Structure 1
Amino acid sequence: MYESRDQPLISRWQFAKRLLAHASIGIVFVVFSLMLGALGHMWFEENVHWHDAALNAAMMVGGLGPMALPETWAGKVFFAIYGAYVSLVLAAAFGLIIAPVLHRILHTFHLED
């Protein structure tokens, strides 16, 4: 997928396309996680509206924690597992987005004169 050190740097346009592709995949992961969190919150907690569930999921993804604490046992377990899952997804999405940038920097340093 990436060029080796024997190959020249790709153009800025190709690099921008690569970065956009990586960012798009990262955004898809985060949006999927938001939907999963909202649906799980509505499933495990009774009488929760979609907008409250979406707010709680977005706050969890943002690292702030839920606005309304779950009341049921199943909701508490879901939020515990979802919190761990979301932290891994955000770390993976950040790594996915920053990988082309780091590769380009390292590739620039290792180019033959």
Structure 2
Amino acid sequence: MRRHHLLRFEGMREPLLPTSAFARRVARSFAVATLLIGVSLAGGMAGYAGFEGMAVIDAFVNASMILSGMGPLDAPKTFSGKLFAGTYALYSGLVLILAAGVVLAPIVHRLLHQFHVDDEDGK
């Protein structure tokens, strides 16, 4: 029995994945990226609410703006809030790159695998 993993792709000698299975793979990757962003957003909201005493909606807008790379709406006022905001901004930059990689990996892999399959067949 073949086990399916999120990050397991077919090897060079395996045939190209059928379109329906590829669509499921892309959907799973999108779900993982969405979960990663959701957890990161919740952590940012908790940090802004805890360190800066922001209301939930203000914590949401600041965390989502930093997570998207736009920057905060309200500048932090406390030392711990500033430390959190800087750390969260660095973390958010990496999460954005990671989420993009998770979503794009199956698409790029399929494209490269298609080139290899064409090369093997002599087409």
Alpha-carbon distance between aligned partners in 1 of 2:99 and 2:24, rounded to the nearest angstrom: 17
Identity level (%): 38
Q: Please, what TM-score do these two structures have when normalized by structure 2?
A: 0.89
CA RMSD in angstroms comes to: 0.7
- Confirm or deny: 8 A CA contact 2:68 2:96 kept in the other structure: no
Does the alignment pair 1:62 with 2:68? yes
* Letter of the structure 1 residue corresponding to residue 41 of structure 2: L
Match of 1:81 among 77, 81, 87: 87
**Structure 1, unaligned stretches of length 5 or more?**
none
In the other structure, the counterpart of 1:25 is 32
Q: 1:1-113 residue pairs with structure 2 within 5 A?
A: 1-46=8-53, 48-111=54-117, 112-113=120-121
Aligned length: 112
Structure 2: segments with no counterpart, 5+ residues: 1-7
Deviation at 1:5, TM superposition (A): 1.4
Distance 1:106 1:53 in 2: 42
- What CA distance in whole angstroms lies between the structure 2 residues aligned with 1:3 and 1:24? 20
Larger CA deviation: 1-10 vs 97-106: 1-10
Q: Are the counterparts in 1 of residues 26 and 106 from structure 2 also a CA contact under 8 Å? A: yes
Structure with more contact order per residue of length (Cα contacts < 8 Å, sep ≥ 6):
1
Query: Following superposition, which runs of at least 4 residues in structure 1 exceed 3 angstroms of deviation?
Result: none
Q: Give the TM-score normalised by structure 1.
A: 0.97
Q: Which amino acid aligns with 2:115?
A: F
Provide Cα deviations, 1:18-69, integer angstroms capped at 9, x if missing partner.
00001100000001010000000011013x1100000000111111111111
